[in-house]
């Protein structure tokens, strides 16, 4: 009898973590490596947030918290949804988790039975299908393409809805593509969902504050209030507030679902870190002016990377609306041979050979369900990005 659970045979390790670790290993051996694999802002957590955490420690806020989060944070979350998204939630309709991942796990664990289907547009964040599998559900992939900006269309959604569909995952702006949905695009998707009242929407808005130009962020329950009772709106402080290590995600939704997620979390981890929760109160309630400054920096980096990659032989890079990723195509390089003699048959071959030849770590697109592409995180300095893109240009130019 096997000791390890059968589920492990259906779950793959995170490709983003794997490529980040490969880069670390090469660096440890003395190689000059630039890692653009991890999705983490390079900005520091704002001082007012750090000071709020220090003050919380000094006040003795070091005990267990309620499973669903401290009341001041749940109040701040409800206020944020009202202020920024025009969504009315009571604090009791919110829940705080140890990062956005736990929120997603809670929701799937609380709702999925064997045979239940979860629609996931691809390309997708690598963890979505693995979470669905662990929780006993079945992932059903909805197709997008570079031609429509990697966005789910109403027609593509309609094609994959079945009587077994329980959830649709919407991630805008998207990891890995950076694609973000306009109000008009969301209305078209909402119109399909209105025809299928058994389908709920889990909207992952983690990159909400990172949109560029004149793009206006909207979330689906805001655009179509009739979906309010079957939408879980998820967010967190990781990206916009540069608080990845604080591990705070949150969500709001119908009370019965939140109570079920609370019960799951109560048997799993209980409440999130007390100090991180108090820091998050300050993040949501305190000054927000730094977000616009950081966005301007990210937009400049996006434009730098898109411009340089589109000058590379065989690479096509769309300009995304948000997040801090680009998702270029390497279709023009498939079938070519690297100077090492390695034949580039897949986007994974491209990523591995790029790392070996030029010391640039990216993540191959098939890990996100759609290739031949690769994902770059541009959450690092202009100088580093220029160096990395120059190396990518050189590598692409060396293929024959």
Question: Three-class SS of residue 226?
Answer: helix
- The residues, any chain, with a CB within 8 Å of residue 83's CB and separated by 6 or more, are none
Q: Which of 232, 231, 223 lies closest to 185, judged by CA?
A: 223
| Structure-token pair, residue 135 | 């929780």
Q: What does the alpha-carbon distance between residue 106 and residue 93 come to, in Å, rounded to a whole number? A: 14
Q: What is the pLDDT of residue 11?
A: 84
For the chain, list the domains and their CATH numbers. Answer: 6-44+290-394 (3.90.1150.10), 63-285 (3.40.640.10)
Alpha helices in the chain (DSSP H): 15-28, 47-59, 71-85, 100-111, 127-134, 154-160, 183-194, 220-223, 255-266, 274-285, 289-309, 347-358, 382-398
Token pair listed for 11? 């779950």
Q: Residue 116 CB: number of other CB atoms within 10 A?
A: 17
pLDDT for position 27: 83
The rounded distance, in Å, linking the Cα atoms of 114 and 155 is 27
Quote the pLDDT of residue 252. 98
**H-assigned helices in 165-288:** 183-194, 220-223, 255-266, 274-285
Smallest CA-to-CA distance from 166 within 132, 205, 142, 123 is with 132
pLDDT tens for the chain, residues 1 to 400: 889 998 888 888 777 777 778 888 888 888 899 999 888 899 999 999 999 999 999 999 999 999 999 999 999 999 999 999 999 999 999 999 999 999 999 999 999 999 999 999 999 999 999 999 999 999 999 999 999 999 999 999 999 999 999 999 999 999 999 999 999 999 999 999 999 999 999 999 999 999 999 999 999 999 999 999 999 999 999 999 999 999 999 999 999 999 999 999 999 999 999 999 999 999 999 999 999 999 999 999 999 999 999 999 999 999 999 999 999 999 999 999 999 999 999 999 999 999 999 999 999 999 999 999 999 999 999 999 999 999 999 999 999 9
CA 120 to CA 131: how far, in whole Å?
Answer: 12
Per-residue pLDDT at 18: 78
Pull the structure tokens for residue 30. 């003395």
DSSP state of 82: H
Strand partners, 122: 143
Q: What CA–CA distance (Å, rounded) separates 307 from 396?
A: 15
- Tokens, residue 17: 């973590």
Residue whose entry in the numeric block shows the structure tokens 């389908």: 199
């Amino acid at each position: 009898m096997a000791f390890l659970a059968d589920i492990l045979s259906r779950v793959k390790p995170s490709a983003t973590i794997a490529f980040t670790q490969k880069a670390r290993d090469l660096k440890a051996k003395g190689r000059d490596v630039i890692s653009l694999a991890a999705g983490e802002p390079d900005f520091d957590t704002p001082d007012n947030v750090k000071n709020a955490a220090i003050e919380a420690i000094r006040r003795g806020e070091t005990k267990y918290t309620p499973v669903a989060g401290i009341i001041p944070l749940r109040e701040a979350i409800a206020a944020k949804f009202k202020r920024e998204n025009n969504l009315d939630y009571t604090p009791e309709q919110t829940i705080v988790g140890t990062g956005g991942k736990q929120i997603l796990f809670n929701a799937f664990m609380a709702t999925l039975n064997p045979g239940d289907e979860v629609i996931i547009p691809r390309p997708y964040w690598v963890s979505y299908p693995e979470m669905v599998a662990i929780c006993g559900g079945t992932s059903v992939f909805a197709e997008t393409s570079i031609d429509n900006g990697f966005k789910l269309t109403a027609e593509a959604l309609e094609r994959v809805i079945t009587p077994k569909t329980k959830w649709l995952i919407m991630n805008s702006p998207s990891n890995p593509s950076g694609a973000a949905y306009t109000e008009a695009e969301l209305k078209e998707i909402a119109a399909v969902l209105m025809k299928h009242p058994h389908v709920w929407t889990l909207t992952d808005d983690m990159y909400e504050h990172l949109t560029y130009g004149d793009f206006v962020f909207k979330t689906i329950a805001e655009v179509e209030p009739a979906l309010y009772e079957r939408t879980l709106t998820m967010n967190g402080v990781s990206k916009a507030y540069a608080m990845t290590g604080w591990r705070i995600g949150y969500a709001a939704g119908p009370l019965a679902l939140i109570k079920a997620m609370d019960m799951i979390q109560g048997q799993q981890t209980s409440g999130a870190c007390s100090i991180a929760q108090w820091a998050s109160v300050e993040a949501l309630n305190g000054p927000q002016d730094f977000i616009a400054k950081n966005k301007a920096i990210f937009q400049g980096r996006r434009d730098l990377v898109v411009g340089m990659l589109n000058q590379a032989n065989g690479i096509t890079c769309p300009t995304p609306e948000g997040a801090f990723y680009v998702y270029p195509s390497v279709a023009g390089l498939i079938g070519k041979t690297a100077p090492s003699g390695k034949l580039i048959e897949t986007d994974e071959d491209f990523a591995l050979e790029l790392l070996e030849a030029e010391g640039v770590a990216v993540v191959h697109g098939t890990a996100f369900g759609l290739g031949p592409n690769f994902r770059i995180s541009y959450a690092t300095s202009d100088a580093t990005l220029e160096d990395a893109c120059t190396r990518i240009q050189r590598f692409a130019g060396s293929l024959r």
